[in-house]
Structure 1
Amino acid sequence: MKKSPKIALIGNPNAGKSSLFNSLTGLRQKTGNFPGVTMDKLIGKWKLESGDDAEILDLPGIYSIYPKSVDEQVVINILANPKHPDYPDLAIVVVDASNLKRNLLLFSQVRDLGIPTVLALNMIDVAENQGIVINSVKLARELNVEIAEVNAKKGIGLNGLRLAVNKTLASGYNSNDTLPMTYSSELVDEIKQKYGDTDDYHALLWLSEHDNLRQFNTQQRVGFDELQTKYGWKTQEAQSKETMARYAQLNEIVDNCLHEMPVEEDPINTWTDRLDKIFLHRFWGYFIFLAILFIVFQAIFTWATYPMDLIDGGIASLNEFLKTELPDSKLTDLLTDGLISGIGGVLIFIPQIAFLFFFISMLEETGYMSRVMFIMDKLMRRFGLSGKSVVPLISGVACAVPAIMSTRSISSWKDRLITIMVTPLMSCSARLPIYTVLIALVVPETSSLFGIFNLQGVALFALYLLGFFVALVSAWIMKLLLKVKERSYFIMELPSYKGPRFSHVAITIWNSTKAFVFQAGKIIVAISIVLWVLASYGPGDSIERAEIKIKAENPTLTGIELENKIASQKLENSYAGVFGKVIEPVIKPLGYDWKIGIALITSFAAREVFVGTMSTIYSLGGEVDDENATVMNRMRAEINPETGKPMYDTALGFSLLIFYAFAMQCMSTLAITYRETKSWKYPAIQLFYMTGLAYISAFIVYQVLK
């Protein structure tokens, strides 16, 4: 037996494969990448009885070895190629015991590929509750395979599974002697002669799916086409006949090994059916979903505030301590204002990510999330999305970073990509400081709508609603422009409602948080340092001359007021300030000057940096809350030198609001888009189209209102 065998978990969607993976591996997991494919794979370690660690690979859920989607193609590219780096030494096929006949189709195909196979009968308890009794000993004998009964959620039966795996690895059992299908031996022999010695079923799989298999080049695929023509091979017809033959064979076996007992409760009146009458109701289903979302995001905003404040305060205290203890130098500034501030920008997102994935995992564990996707699919599909896009879009109201991470539940690459590309249009919590300041400048505080609603509150609600509407329109446009051969289907078997297993919830939170910190975090810290350099240095000796100039012009100033003026002048003469002057002609049609231009640049680190940048520019200090108020007063008093009127009038205020509602001004979002798509192409497109949308919209608003 191989010392460290590779074991693949294979099964239909909702068969409990991922739950079994978590039970087998616990926290001994890592996220990798399928070779040549921008899709995550989960790898874990599982200790066998021999003392060796087996490498467990959790493959995407599939219904058969004939792929209908991108994620299914990933699985088949592994199983069809014995030379693939992820080709398993053994496959554990996880089946839902309450839907045995349908699940066994995939098992029979994997077994006939010659891969040593163990059958894991999951959800035995669900089957028994439905009056289904399976004679697993007889079934193992009929199928000539080792079988283990498991409860993946509760971690029951893992020792029996370990015994079955060890026995199968030792015996090296492969497949049946005969395939349940008719085919030409001459055709198979010619395939083996041209493409390498293999078993008959692999040869026929290559013939049928050669266009989806990466192991073959264009010339080889043309060769397969010629063989199909020569022997009159019709792929669809052959696959249909094979599937029918397999079902006929499996039905006979299952009927001999399965007995259905009468149950006291009518199957159509189970708790799952009763709850579905409420949760899937054409009206109350939407109402309940919105109510749950309201509670979830209220909890996220409320609960995450405290740990986020602790992290923010801890980073600030650390910076203050280091600045006090370390000598005043550029190296100290780089460490505190660059590196540690960048790390703080990563760590402060952890509470939101943890809470969001806690709730998402709870909804998935209980089976409710599948219902949400089902009821929303028809509406979302009109805009090029799917029911699975709902959760990321709503999550974007809290933060686009965990929202984009949650798109992993979308199996269709096209739907997932469109969702990733439009999610940042949802107004996240980081925009709130900007909205608060600008709305206070341009919307009267005392006015009301119909004497009931405060106009400032209505304006804030309208900005969030606008983001959602534009996200849907953008998705619809991408649906028309994005030319993908893959057709999107929403096929889902609704699982029964279950109680959550909190160890699985904890694993989900850990993996999601770790992935963000160690993947996207590296990029965020790097860009933070770059931004610090741009704001701290200038051409030649411009920074030094700026300080001398301020001191000469203000001989009586001391303390914080002098420091703020010096900081403002240094910023104006830094590379960031120079760039602000350079881009001023470009942003002038929007009503912006070079000071706002600097804020546009620096707020690329995070949208809320806009307020801090304006504080520096306008020589303001103090705590954040007081600073925001002072910013509003100072911005309100700012005079436009060209017109002699207030700078932040209605036209400029709404122009900035619209710009920040649409602009991609957050490097964290770009970093996580790169992390999820494994390509810089999509973050670049995202940055380009959102910046263009923000610019054109802000231009129209300013030109109309001025």
Structure 2
Amino acid sequence: MDIKVALVGNPNTGKSTLFNRLTGLNQKIGNFPGITVDKKTGFMKMIDGKQAEIIDLPGTYSLYPKSSDESIVFQVLADQKNSAHPDVIVLIADASNLKRNMLLYSQVADLGIPMILALNMIDLAEKQGIEVNVDKLAQKLGIQVVSISARNNIGIDRLKQAIANTTKIATQLQDVDVNSLAPEAINAIKSKLNSDNDYYALQVLHQHEYLNFFSNQEQEEIEQIEQSHKFESSKVQAAETVVRYQHLSKLLADVVTDSGRAQKFSFSDKLDAILTHKVWGFAIFLLILFIIFNAIFAWSSYPMDWIEGGFGFVTEMGHEYLPAGMLTDLLLDGVIAGLGGIFVFIPQIAILFAFISILEDTGYMARVTFMMDKIMSKVGLNGKSVVPMIGSLACAVPSIMAARNIENWKDRMITIMVTPLISCSARLPVYILIISLIIPSENLFGIFNMQGLALMVMYLVGIVAAVLVAWVMKFIIKTKERSYFIMELPIYRMPRWKNVFYTMYEKSKTFIIEAGKVIIAISIILWVMATFGPGDRFENIDKKYASALADTTRNTAHIETLIATEKLENSYVGILGHWIEPAIRPLGYDWKIGIGLITSFAAREAFVGTMATIYSVDGGDEDTSTIRERMEASVNSKTGLPVYTFATGISLMLFYAFAMQCMSTVAIVYRETKGWKWPIIQLSYMTAMAYVAALIAYQLLK
């Protein structure tokens, strides 16, 4: 790359939107060297034809870190040997709240790296009656200032031109005498590190323990300087913040004019008074949840039928036109059947992510976080725990990683431990399949779709369970740290429909690719295990029914179905299923469901693919019914009753609501907690919860 550009800014300033605008799809995710914080980089072709590497640093309100993510910002900017150390900094500021954003600017400017100030959301600021004199601000700061709207692609070319041309280091803030805050300690650090930058030395004193580019000996020497000069980090930080804000007030006095402040806050406050009300706010949130889950069933029925019918047609045509044999059976009854069980849920996955994207884009999700803080604090969490918990509606893995932003260790650990209880998108296919079998598709009181209501209840069960487990862990996990919650509520906006549709596409594609890889592998293994058996069991079954098949007066199709069923029970997968059946029979499960439970530990949604493969092998070549029809018609050979009764269905959904059932989640908890202690505890308590809840539900409802 010809140049490295770091994007720095407060949360909610549109930094990620600008990153996407500059890099398009030319992005990749990795880790910063030596740590498990995500490093998001992309590549951009500049106006002059040069190539730029764009690095999206974590959002932070200041250079003083409150989490491992925020500590990365100073670590990258301060260490010239760091692979992400930039040649140019683009500091993104919200033009409608410039004073608060400029605190971070003033700190970064004092590090002496060439930089550009990008005033984002300039169009929204103008609508709110806020005017920024860009030329005057640029003259005062001594750097290029560019007004942009990343959301609406305004000023992006000017910003690219500024990046290509910039060599200027921001004028140091003359009124902020950093050295006077702790002169002896700062001078000692400058001498030791051979640096002439006062602010770099001050930040080293504040946060050297976060900086991994210092050796153990250097850390000890810095600590000795800190102690010998009686450096008090919190007092110096407070004094610096006060001085900087005093200077910024003078700096911006004749730069920013706000003629619409009263009107702007009046509208926002009126809307928030309703949406964050202690009673109506929660009622509205529950109503929104119901609308989402009702839509998941109501809007997806036709496309699901089309997809299901399409896979059924492919299977039927395959058996009719492809040469009979083992390879055809593997392709149609193994791979195609398994994939069909996943593809059919694409419409519902897309609808779920569309709604989540809309709630985030409008700013409503931040209000949910704010509302939940009081409840969360009573059960040992804080409002920031809501972000990973809501994110778990999509997937627990990135949500557990998002818990790094929680400053308090106890709050972070409890959040990690309960986050997998929130029902993720991988559970959605299981819920939908079971609900379609046991809940009638009709409206309650002519309004409420019963299947949508059942799906909403399953999601609420996960949320309630997470809150209750967090409350228990509040008394088990001990710490002396104080917990606090600070959050800025973004302004209300119309959702970006292009972004919504892109999210639907990306999440659906990721679901198919990630789930598809697992499903294909499991389907092939299952097909092999279901097609072959030990010894001469299959030969004996063929001999048993040979005379019946030869009798032309008998129903040949029925006999072939009996042969397929008996062979399945005597196959390797049947033997394994019967071996574990005694442990799961009290839950209302047969051996086929048991196989689904085992395979779904690789990925929860693998349960659906497993059922599709097993019932495809069980049904024989002539059976062209769908997986739901086969499961609905399946009968317990011992009791003669349907396998999927209401009691069994509720038991199975509760098992999946509480069980870990995901190798990826176990792996990420191990990575985040740096050991096996917490993953083992989590896997154990969730499995126990799942078994007990499923047992109680089945025994009460059967």
Q: TM-score, normalised by structure 2?
A: 0.82
Match of 2:221 among 216, 220, 223: 223
8 Å contact from structure 1 (residues 439, 456) kept in 2: yes
8 Å contact from structure 2 (residues 394, 424) kept in 1: no
Q: In the alignment, is residue 314 of structure 1 matched against residue 310 of structure 2?
A: yes
1:4 is matched by which residue type in structure 2?
Answer: D
Q: Which residue of 2 aligns with 1:110?
A: 108
Q: Which residue of 2 aligns with 1:289?
A: 285
Separation in structure 2 between the aligned mates of residue 505 and residue 460 of structure 1, nearest angstrom: 23
8 Å contact from structure 2 (residues 8, 91) kept in 1: yes
Separation in structure 2 between the aligned mates of residue 508 and residue 649 of structure 1, nearest angstrom: 38
Q: Which residue of 2 aligns with 1:300?
A: 296
1:235-255 deviations in whole A, cap 9, x for unaligned? Answer: 212222222222222222112
Match of 1:539 among 529, 534, 543: 534
Match of 1:85 among 83, 87, 93: 83
Q: Cα–Cα, structure 1 residues 149 and 199, in superposed 2: closer, same or farther, change >3 Å?
A: same
Separation in structure 2 between the aligned mates of residue 562 and residue 611 of structure 1, nearest angstrom: 22
Single out whichever of 592-601 and 270-279 deviates more from structure 2. Answer: 592-601
Q: Cα–Cα, structure 1 residues 578 and 491, in superposed 2: closer, same or farther, change >3 Å?
A: same
Match of 1:474 among 445, 466, 469: 469
Q: Which residue of 1 aligns with 2:625?
A: 623
Q: Which residue of 2 aligns with 1:119?
A: 117
Q: Which residue of 2 aligns with 1:149?
A: 147
Q: Cα–Cα, structure 1 residues 341 and 596, in superposed 2: closer, same or farther, change >3 Å?
A: closer
2:500 is matched by which residue type in structure 1?
Answer: V
Q: What does residue range 422-437 of structure 1 map to in structure 2 within 5 Å?
A: 422-424=421-423, 428=428, 430-434=430-434, 437=437
8 Å contact from structure 2 (residues 333, 617) kept in 1: no
Q: In the alignment, is residue 572 of structure 1 matched against residue 530 of structure 2?
A: no
Q: Cα–Cα, structure 1 residues 563 and 488, in superposed 2: closer, same or farther, change >3 Å?
A: farther
Q: Which residue of 2 aligns with 1:421?
A: 420
Single out whichever of 152-161 and 280-289 deviates more from structure 2. Answer: 280-289
| Percent identity of equivalent pairs | 43
Q: Cα–Cα, structure 1 residues 598 and 101, in superposed 2: closer, same or farther, change >3 Å?
A: closer
Q: Cα–Cα, structure 1 residues 663 and 676, in superposed 2: closer, same or farther, change >3 Å?
A: same
Q: In the alignment, is residue 661 of structure 1 matched against residue 654 of structure 2?
A: yes
Deviation at 1:95, TM superposition (A): 0.9
For residue 284 of structure 2, give the secondary structure of its aligned residue in structure 1. helix
1:530 is matched by which residue type in structure 2?
Answer: I
Deviation at 1:92, TM superposition (A): 1.0
For residue 424 of structure 1, give the secondary structure of its aligned residue in structure 2. coil
Single out whichever of 572-581 and 652-661 deviates more from structure 2. Answer: 652-661
Deviation at 1:578, TM superposition (A): 1.9
Separation in structure 2 between the aligned mates of residue 342 and residue 544 of structure 1, nearest angstrom: 27
Separation in structure 2 between the aligned mates of residue 484 and residue 526 of structure 1, nearest angstrom: 44
Q: Cα–Cα, structure 1 residues 581 and 360, in superposed 2: closer, same or farther, change >3 Å?
A: closer
Q: Which residue of 1 aligns with 2:503?
A: 508
Deviation at 1:89, TM superposition (A): 2.0
Separation in structure 1 between the aligned mates of residue 452 and residue 299 of structure 2, nearest angstrom: 23
8 Å contact from structure 1 (residues 580, 598) kept in 2: yes
Q: In the alignment, is residue 562 of structure 1 matched against residue 559 of structure 2?
A: yes
Q: In the alignment, is residue 278 of structure 1 matched against residue 274 of structure 2?
A: yes
1:239 is matched by which residue type in structure 2?
Answer: Q
Q: Cα–Cα, structure 1 residues 172 and 685, in superposed 2: closer, same or farther, change >3 Å?
A: farther
Single out whichever of 35-44 and 551-560 deviates more from structure 2. Answer: 551-560
Q: In the alignment, is residue 494 of structure 1 matched against residue 489 of structure 2?
A: yes
Q: Cα–Cα, structure 1 residues 8 and 218, in superposed 2: closer, same or farther, change >3 Å?
A: same
Separation in structure 1 between the aligned mates of residue 391 and residue 190 of structure 2, nearest angstrom: 51
Deviation at 1:306, TM superposition (A): 3.4
Deviation at 1:94, TM superposition (A): 0.9
2:371 is matched by which residue type in structure 1?
Answer: I
Q: Cα–Cα, structure 1 residues 614 and 685, in superposed 2: closer, same or farther, change >3 Å?
A: farther
Q: Which residue of 2 aligns with 1:207?
A: 205
Q: Cα–Cα, structure 1 residues 603 and 108, in superposed 2: closer, same or farther, change >3 Å?
A: closer
For residue 32 of structure 1, give the secondary structure of its aligned residue in structure 2. strand
Q: In the alignment, is residue 583 of structure 1 matched against residue 586 of structure 2?
A: no
For residue 133 of structure 1, give the secondary structure of its aligned residue in structure 2. strand
Q: What does residue range 1-400 of structure 1 map to in structure 2 within 5 Å?
A: 3-168=1-166, 171=167, 173=169, 176=172, 180-181=177-178, 182=180, 187-188=185-186, 191=189, 199-216=197-214, 218-260=216-258, 262-263=259-260, 266-267=262-263, 270-384=266-380, 387=383
Q: Cα–Cα, structure 1 residues 85 and 416, in superposed 2: closer, same or farther, change >3 Å?
A: farther
Separation in structure 2 between the aligned mates of residue 699 and residue 458 of structure 1, nearest angstrom: 23
Deviation at 1:68, TM superposition (A): 1.0
2:633 is matched by which residue type in structure 1?
Answer: T
Q: Cα–Cα, structure 1 residues 540 and 218, in superposed 2: closer, same or farther, change >3 Å?
A: farther
Q: Cα–Cα, structure 1 residues 299 and 52, in superposed 2: closer, same or farther, change >3 Å?
A: farther
Separation in structure 2 between the aligned mates of residue 516 and residue 672 of structure 1, nearest angstrom: 16
For residue 253 of structure 2, give the secondary structure of its aligned residue in structure 1. helix
8 Å contact from structure 1 (residues 673, 683) kept in 2: yes
1:579 is matched by which residue type in structure 2?
Answer: L
8 Å contact from structure 1 (residues 568, 616) kept in 2: no
8 Å contact from structure 1 (residues 146, 164) kept in 2: yes
Show structure 2 runs of 5+ residues with no match. 407-411
Deviation at 1:40, TM superposition (A): 3.9
For residue 7 of structure 1, give the secondary structure of its aligned residue in structure 2. strand
1:273 is matched by which residue type in structure 2?
Answer: D
Separation in structure 2 between the aligned mates of residue 99 and residue 597 of structure 1, nearest angstrom: 57
Deviation at 1:418, TM superposition (A): 4.3
Give aligned pairs, total.
679
Separation in structure 2 between the aligned mates of residue 278 and residue 290 of structure 1, nearest angstrom: 14
1:508 is matched by which residue type in structure 2?
Answer: T
2:655 is matched by which residue type in structure 1?
Answer: F
1:569-595 deviations in whole A, cap 9, x for unaligned? Answer: 222222222222332443455566656
Deviation at 1:482, TM superposition (A): 5.9
Separation in structure 1 between the aligned mates of residue 470 and residue 656 of structure 2, nearest angstrom: 16
CA RMSD of aligned residues (A): 4.4
8 Å contact from structure 1 (residues 405, 676) kept in 2: no
Q: Cα–Cα, structure 1 residues 704 and 295, in superposed 2: closer, same or farther, change >3 Å?
A: closer
Separation in structure 2 between the aligned mates of residue 149 and residue 384 of structure 1, nearest angstrom: 43
Single out whichever of 205-214 and 427-436 deviates more from structure 2. Answer: 427-436
8 Å contact from structure 1 (residues 655, 702) kept in 2: yes
Separation in structure 2 between the aligned mates of residue 257 and residue 354 of structure 1, nearest angstrom: 45
Deviation at 1:103, TM superposition (A): 0.8
Deviation at 1:208, TM superposition (A): 1.6
8 Å contact from structure 1 (residues 339, 528) kept in 2: yes
Separation in structure 1 between the aligned mates of residue 449 and residue 23 of structure 2, nearest angstrom: 54
Q: Cα–Cα, structure 1 residues 302 and 583, in superposed 2: closer, same or farther, change >3 Å?
A: same
